[in-house]
Amino acid sequence: MGDRVRAAEESTEEKPAAPVIVRPQPATSNRTAADALSGPSADPARRADAAGLGGPGGNRAVAQLLSPAPGDPAIDWIESLPAHIKQQIDNFGAAQEKAADAGNQKLADARTRNRHTFMDTMRWAMGDDDTVIQQHFQAIASIDVGGGEELWAHSSTRERLAAVKAELEAQGIPMPQTTVGLGMRGDHLNRGNKGRTWFTHAVGFAVDWRAYQTPRITDDKLITLFDVVTGGRPDMKTSVEGDTRIDLEIKMGQGKADPAEAKKLLDSVDAEYTRLTQASETFKTDLPKETLDRLGEVEQARFAVGTARRALARLKARKKPKAATADEIAAGEKAITDAQANYDKLVAAIVPDLPKLFEPWTKKIDERIAVIDREFADAGVDEELLTSDYGLKDREAKARQVRKDEAALAKAKIKDEAKLAQLHQRALDLDEDLAKRRQYRTETKTALGAKKVQALIDEKFKLITLRGLKEGLISNANGFVFRTKLATDDPAIDQLLGLMPENRGGFFTPDAAGGEAQAQAGQFSGEHGYGLAFIKSMVSHGFEAGMAWRGGSDPMHFELAEGRKFLKTGGKSPLGSTP
Ligand SMILES: [Zn+2]
């Protein structure tokens, strides 16, 4: 609840929207695409699209969608884009693209429709000049990052990345390798209430590096835990924030920034980098050895299941010198069963011990809870009863829903009278509770003043987070401590502790130093390069670093500040000259 409250109360203008990690578009099956885009219910889908567009896009957009006509945006140029970009615009896999080309009319229609929706989204994001949109997407291309891999980005971004690469290589540091750049994820077809700046990956301004080493952290519980253990937040506090930083980065990228301001920003990046890397290490080593060993044992057992599964798959695929025998396969299957049983046994044994294993942390959490409890006691306020606007709205919505259910049930042919009475009573109870909470809030406000009440409500949010954090640690609720796989967003504690064998862990774990030979050869590196020099060079060349996003830090993410502003202003702020 606390998380949702905070998310709701944070103004999007104060904090850059934090895009989630973008990976290459998963290829949807033909069937799914046919069903979703042009399948059995093509017409209703089309009407739903039109309804969605009616508000933001206006009548013109609706008319365009429903009746392709001479007034439609030109989309023929999309056909000549590289397949990588085209498939993202079309939201198609390669096979679907081929089928549409080969005369599958439903897919071909879906493709045309998606291209029109794409143009509509881009007109909204970049301004109404279709030539600008066309030229923008024609300027997106790939960078060869070695090993047959590519990174796709807009020319503005590629140029700056090349400058960063050269600057690093001059210091003997290789450019860190990544393939995560241009990524539409279908968001251009269904933009919902996303802001324009959400689309930095979709138009080739954003690039992600080392998602598992520097995961995105937005869960208040993790942010709080990091603070409890290390005494600071997991995001970077820079000398300037928000649009002021974006404007400074734009100037830095163009070589026009005030040197003192630029230095201040880079110095703050420097200091915060040191704090974050050290705190991340502290976090990994803070718990007693016994706790780390027990958790590590569970992770090793989990990993062993995967290893056994892969071994069996290899065995089954074997052709030379001869195919696997039935006995070999049976042994492989038994290895999986045994590994799984061992994992299940360890998990069952560790869960009851979690309160003891995490005691050093839960003690600190309890201390913080006690401080807040005391604040409420000193103020003479009932912490449970004092309710935030969010809490009131949430309860109002619940009461509305119950009344709706009640009304629906009352209209039913066969009435369930007992259930009806139950719903009616529930609605009355909710109303009574709401009235009590409203009255309590009013009375408290009269007694203590609005400012104090707001301060207490803020403390209550912290309390909810602290309690949720403790609960997560001692019960593994929602896989808070361990789960079955790595995550790039709000990972499990085990991953952050570096106990999962697949990964080095940590909140913020830069690459190990090294890679001089790769730097000299001008090669990208999968193991080296992501570190302080890289981050500072990126900022110096006009990139906004997601690690500086407060409350939703995204350290893997960088985006061209000019590009962000270009989108934020609907295409008015230029790329490549003074804004
Ligand atoms: Zn990103």
Bridge-partner residues for 143, per DSSP? 151
User: pLDDT-derived band of residue 311, with 50, 70 and 90 as boundaries?
Assistant: very high
Domain boundary, last residue among 336, 357, 378: 357
What is the C-alpha to C-alpha distance for residues 217 and 546, in angstroms, rounded to an integer?
A: 11
Residues in the chain: 579
Flag whether 5 is in a domain. no
Answer yes or no: pTM beyond 0.75.
Answer: yes
Check residue 416 and give its pLDDT.
Answer: 86
**Residue 74: DSSP 8-state:** P
Check residue 43 and give its pLDDT.
Answer: 34
Flag whether 164 is in a domain. yes
Check residue 2 and give its pLDDT.
Answer: 36
pLDDT more than 70, % of the chain: 87
Check residue 130 and give its pLDDT.
Answer: 92
User: pLDDT-derived band of residue 56, with 50, 70 and 90 as boundaries?
Assistant: very low
3-state secondary structure of 489: strand
Same-domain status, 463 and 564: no
Same-domain status, 397 and 332: no
Q: By the 8 A CB rule, do 279 and 254 touch?
A: no
Check residue 71 and give its pLDDT.
Answer: 59
**Residue 202: DSSP 8-state:** T
Flag whether 495 is in a domain. no
Cis peptide bond prior to 73, omega within 30° of 0:
no
Same-domain status, 96 and 153: no
Check residue 37 and give its pLDDT.
Answer: 35
User: Pick the residue with more confidence: 410 or 534?
Assistant: 534
206 CA distance to ligand 1 centroid (A)?
A: 6
Residue 265 pLDDT > 90, yes or no? yes
Same-domain status, 511 and 427: no
409 CA distance to ligand 1 centroid (A)?
A: 47
Flag whether 574 is in a domain. no
Phi/psi of residue 377, each to 5°?
-65, -45
User: pLDDT-derived band of residue 577, with 50, 70 and 90 as boundaries?
Assistant: low
User: Count of domains in the chain?
Assistant: 4
Same-domain status, 263 and 309: no
3-state secondary structure of 524: strand
Which residues lie closer than 8 Å to 417 by C-beta, 6 or more apart? none
Domain boundary, last residue among 357, 376, 407: 357
Same-domain status, 129 and 249: no
385 CA distance to ligand 1 centroid (A)?
A: 41
21 CA distance to ligand 1 centroid (A)?
A: 5
Q: By the 8 A CB rule, do 509 and 280 touch?
A: yes
Domain boundary, last residue among 106, 138, 170: 138
User: pLDDT-derived band of residue 74, with 50, 70 and 90 as boundaries?
Assistant: confident
Same-domain status, 233 and 363: no
Q: By the 8 A CB rule, do 223 and 462 touch?
A: no
207 CA distance to ligand 1 centroid (A)?
A: 6
Same-domain status, 329 and 429: no
Nearest to 19 by CA among 563, 569, 572, 552: 552
Domain extent at residue 81? 26-138
Check residue 58 and give its pLDDT.
Answer: 44
Q: Mind listing the pLDDT tens digit for each residue in 443-470?
A: 999 999 999 999 999 999 999 999 999 9
181 CA distance to ligand 1 centroid (A)?
A: 8
Which residues lie closer than 8 Å to 343 by C-beta, 6 or more apart? 298, 301, 302, 304, 305
Flag whether 492 is in a domain. no
523 CA distance to ligand 1 centroid (A)?
A: 23
Q: By the 8 A CB rule, do 272 and 344 touch?
A: no
Same-domain status, 277 and 157: yes
564 CA distance to ligand 1 centroid (A)?
A: 12
Same-domain status, 548 and 558: yes
194 CA distance to ligand 1 centroid (A)?
A: 15
Which residues lie closer than 8 Å to 38 by C-beta, 6 or more apart? 45, 106, 107, 109, 110, 113
Same-domain status, 113 and 175: no
Q: Mind listing the pLDDT tens digit for each residue in 135-191?
A: 999 999 999 999 999 999 999 999 999 999 999 999 999 999 999 999 999 999 998
208 CA distance to ligand 1 centroid (A)?
A: 5
Phi/psi of residue 236, each to 5°?
-90, 130
Q: Mind listing the pLDDT tens digit for each residue in 195-235?
A: 999 999 999 999 999 998 889 999 999 999 999 999 999 99
209 CA distance to ligand 1 centroid (A)?
A: 8
536-544 average pLDDT score: 98
Summary mean pLDDT of the chain: 87
Flag whether 205 is in a domain. yes
Flag whether 402 is in a domain. yes
Flag whether 316 is in a domain. yes
What is the C-alpha to C-alpha distance for residues 167 and 173, in angstroms, rounded to an integer?
A: 9
Residue 16 pLDDT > 90, yes or no? no
387-412 average pLDDT score: 93
281-298 average pLDDT score: 96
Same-domain status, 258 and 197: yes
User: Pick the residue with more confidence: 414 or 517?
Assistant: 517
Which residues lie closer than 8 Å to 494 by C-beta, 6 or more apart? 295, 298, 299, 481, 482, 483, 500
Q: By the 8 A CB rule, do 211 and 199 touch?
A: no
